[in-house]
Amino acid sequence: DGGITQSPKYLFRKEGQNVTLSCEQNLNHDAMYWYRQDPGQGLRLIYYSQIVNDFQKGDIAEGYSVSREKKESFPLTVTSAQKNPTAFYLCASSPRGLEQFFGPGTRLTVL
């Protein structure tokens, strides 16, 4: 099956820990994105990558880091510098010039 997968579905983090959220796509899309969604809110862009080995900061990149070593993978690390990381994280991918396709999301909770 073609699509975007995110893992884990639920993730718990202790304060001061770094955690990494996985995003994989087998759609052969060039562009990939990470969004944060807080309860009852819209999507805010964290990082995006238009091509392998290149990525750009979005609107709320502070406290997050990414890598794009492979076309199909775009992991997001939530660092201890992110003071309020509890949220729903969405990954998306897109072929050039068309709509974005979203994964099922990862819900991160800080204990």
Partner 1 sequence: GESVGLHLPTLSVQEGDNSIINCAYSNSASDYFIWYKQESGKGPQFIIDIRSNMDKRQGQRVTVLLNKTVKHLSLQIAATQPGDSAVYFCAETTNNAGNMLTFGGGTRLMVKP
Q: Considering the complex, what minimum distance in angstroms separates the CB of residue 14 from partner 1? A: 23
- CB-facing half-sphere around the CA of 98: CA atoms within 13 A: 9
Enumerate long-range contacts of 55-59, CB under 8 Å, 24 or more apart: 58/33, 58/34
Interface residue with partner 1 among 19, 103, 108, 110 (CB under 8 A) is 103
**Residue 42 in contact with partner 1, rule: CB under 8 A:** yes
Give the separation between CA 13 and CA 34, rounded to whole angstroms.
Answer: 19
**Residue 25 in contact with partner 1, rule: CB under 8 A:** no
Interface residue with partner 1 among 48, 55, 64, 74 (CB under 8 A) is 48
Give the separation between CA 31 and CA 62, rounded to whole angstroms.
Answer: 21
- Which stretch in 14-22, 44-52, 64-72, 78-86 sits in contact with partner 1 by CB under 8 A? 44-52
Residue 38 CA, chain-centre distance (Å), reads 14
- Which stretch in 12-20, 64-72, 75-83, 98-106 sits in contact with partner 1 by CB under 8 A? 98-106
CA angle 60, 93, 81 (to 5 degrees): 25
**Residue 74 in contact with partner 1, rule: CB under 8 A:** no
Residues that bind partner 1 in the complex, under the rule CB under 8 A: 4, 6, 31, 41-43, 45, 48, 50, 88, 90, 92, 94, 96-105, 107
